[in-house]
Structure 1
Amino acid sequence: MSTSKIKSTVEEMVQPYLEEHGFELVDVEYVKEGSNWFLRVFVDKDGGIDIDDCGLISEYLSQKLDENDPVPTAYFLEVSSPGAERPLKKKEDVAKAVGKHVFVTVYEALGGSKEFEGKLISFENEELEIQTARKTYAIPYDKVASARLAIIF
């Protein structure tokens, strides 16, 4: 089974449980690091999640994975918070981040740059408006390779 198929299968397995218990699925990763495979599930909820939340989700998902066995190799399951630099994977995530500091990369250079860090001023009409230290950029959503919240130092 392909990596993307494993990710989508895990998303389908865990989504109903998360919705029922007030959690939000932020991302699923299935990656090889060294000789080990890791299945990482990032979840959040209003007010943040704690270790007990992660434990409950991990127990539920472990049982579902054992029943359905979609992963062909041995792996480590990790359930955690997306962290302070939360990825913005969906349009809804980007919309919630308006007014916050973000880091965005694009597939092809816009205005001579492929990386933008600054305040997300707006997200309207499929376009992110980011105020950086130098100027404001309008970035079409379909040109965004990745986006995440950024910590300001």
Structure 2
Amino acid sequence: MNPEQRVRELAEERIADRNDLFIVDVKLGGGRLEILVDGDQGVKVQDCADISRHVGFHLEEENVIDHAYNLEVSSPGIDTPLKMERQYRKNEGRDLGIKQPDGTRREGKLLKVETDGILIEEKIKPAKAAGQKAQLVENFIPFGQITEAKVLISFK
């Protein structure tokens, strides 16, 4: 078993009694071990501390990683792309910026998450015809057509 798999197991073991929390990613590299944890209602600092203590203790006991590393447990930042269906669900009603495999960029309000993709509401501007207003159009985007999706933050 590689170290990332064991770290994920340990982190999931620590939050097994917490249905509201989930592990998004585990990365090991450059002397840094990073665990990203998210929650349906957010993540508290104490949650990160509990996971860090649990994982750190067991990694030392089991000598899973044979070199020096810094253990960091945090929630994904606002600029971190969504990776899991559960993260999309958590962000229903918010605006997303989406990149597609062909380089197309789209923006829209996340209306609904389905098992195979998302439904967004996009503002479509008509070709330069006088007096026409932008229209709101619902479009389904399969997960396979999303290379990156981020929540857009508005400071209006």
Q: Same fold (TM over 0.5)?
A: yes
Question: Does the 8 Å contact 1:18/1:24 carry over to 2?
Answer: yes
- Pair 143,20 (structure 1): closer, same or farther in 2 beyond 3 Å: same
Q: How many residues align?
A: 142
Code of the aligned partner of 1:24: F
Residues 1:119 and 2:113 aligned together: no
Residues 1:60 and 2:66 aligned together: no
TM-score, structure 1 as length reference:
0.73
Q: What CA deviation, in whole Å up to 9, does each residue of 1:39-96 have, x standing for no partner?
A: 1112233543333332222111101211233334322110112234454222222233
- Pair 27,141 (structure 1): closer, same or farther in 2 beyond 3 Å: same
Within a 5 Å distance, the mapping from 1:4-83 to structure 2 comes to 5-22=2-19, 23-32=21-30, 37-83=31-77
Code of the aligned partner of 2:26: V
- 4+ residue runs over 6 A deviation: none
Distance 1:145 1:16 in 2: 30
Question: Does the 8 Å contact 2:109/2:122 carry over to 1?
Answer: yes
Q: Report the counterpart of residue 130 of structure 2 in structure 1.
A: none
Q: Report the counterpart of residue 143 of structure 1 in structure 2.
A: 145
RMSD of Structure 2 on Structure 1 (CA)? 2.6
- Pair 121,152 (structure 1): closer, same or farther in 2 beyond 3 Å: same
Residues 1:94 and 2:88 aligned together: yes
Q: Report the counterpart of residue 152 of structure 1 in structure 2.
A: 154
Please say which structure displays the higher CA radius of gyration.
2
Which ranges of structure 1 fall in alignment gaps of 5 or more residues? none
Distance 2:24 2:56 in 1: 18
Q: Which has the higher helix share?
A: 1
